[in-house]
């Protein structure tokens, strides 16, 4: 199964000059890494997407300097009177191949609902893009022993109406809210239990064969020092990287540490 590393730049960097420099530095760093079963996705702020995509020469749909473009979010309609929103069709025209949906920060601050996330997943799949479906519990939910209940609810509501032939394109990202930006990452043994639970939940909705083929990423205070155990011990198929992806050297070190997968 392919290893997927997704860089979520969030609301960074603050200038186009910095964005171009970071993008090019990551691209250069990848040249020394064997990428047979590895795909690296960069999800910058919306306004940098078209510029980063055209700043390197590549055929439509191909990677840009070894990097695939992704988006941090999108709306659930293809067009219309939705001021300030970005449609999945617009993203596809920019050669985006992935869209992060349901990120914990959007669930908290917007706030995103499971129903809206479901509509976005449906729209992204309809536009032939790959949704990165984020799920995870808060510290209070974890302390209350509600991790499985929360994850089950998020998965079932988020995948409502998604048929078998589409689920294979959905990438799951487990991001424990209590670990994000806290410097207190989830232990690999905990991550492995979550992977097993996600697969069991998907098997109940669809079937076991499908559950065994889905890709599950880990995100939450991941860096070059702790990345490898999530792949080699817990069994995640990739990583959703926040702060560490804003430092090209650190991000490349992270990728090198898991590239033997």
Task: Enumerate the active-site residues.
Answer: 103, 175
Binning the chain into helix, strand and coil, the percentages to the nearest 5 are 45, 15, 40
Q: Is-contact 221 183, C-beta < 8 A? A: yes
At which residue do the structure tokens 């792949």 appear? Answer: 231
Handedness of CA 35, 17, 7, 249 (dihedral sign): positive
Cis before 260 (ω within 30): no
Distances (CA, A) of 213 to 41, 42, 93, 238: 20, 23, 28, 14
Whole-number Å distance between alpha carbons of 205 and 131 = 18
């Amino acid at each position: 199964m392919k290893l997927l590393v997704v860089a979520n730049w969030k609301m960074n960097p603050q200038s186009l000059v910095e964005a171009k420099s970071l993008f090019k530095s990551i691209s250069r760093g990848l040249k020394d890494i064997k990428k047979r079963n590895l795909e690296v996705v960069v999800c910058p702020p919306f306004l940098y997407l078209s510029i980063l995509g055209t700043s390197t020469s590549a055929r439509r749909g191909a990677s840009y300097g070894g990097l695939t473009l992704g988006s941090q979010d999108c709306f659930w309609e293809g067009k219309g009177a939705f001021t300030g929103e970005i449609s999945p069709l617009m993203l596809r025209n920019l050669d985006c191949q992935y869209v992060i949906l349901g990120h914990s920060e959007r669930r908290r601050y917007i706030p995103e609902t499971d129903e809206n996330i479901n509509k976005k997943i449906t729209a992204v799949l309809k536009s032939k893009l790959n949704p990165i479906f984020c799920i995870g519990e808060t510290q209070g939910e974890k302390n209350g022993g509600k991790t499985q209940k929360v994850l089950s609810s998020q998965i079932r509501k988020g995948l409502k109406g998604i048929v078998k032939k589409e689920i294979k394109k959905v990438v799951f990202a487990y991001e424990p809210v209590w670990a994000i930006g806290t410097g207190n990452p989830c232990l690999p043994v905990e991550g492995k239990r979550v992977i097993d639970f996600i697969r069991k939940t998907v098997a109940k909705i669809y079937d076991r064969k499908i559950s065994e083929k889905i890709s599950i990423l880990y995100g939450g205070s991941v860096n070059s020092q702790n990345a490898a155990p999530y792949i080699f011990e817990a069994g995640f198929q990739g990583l959703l990287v926040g702060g560490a992806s804003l430092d090209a050297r650190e991000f490349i070190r992270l990728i090198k540490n898991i590239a033997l997968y």
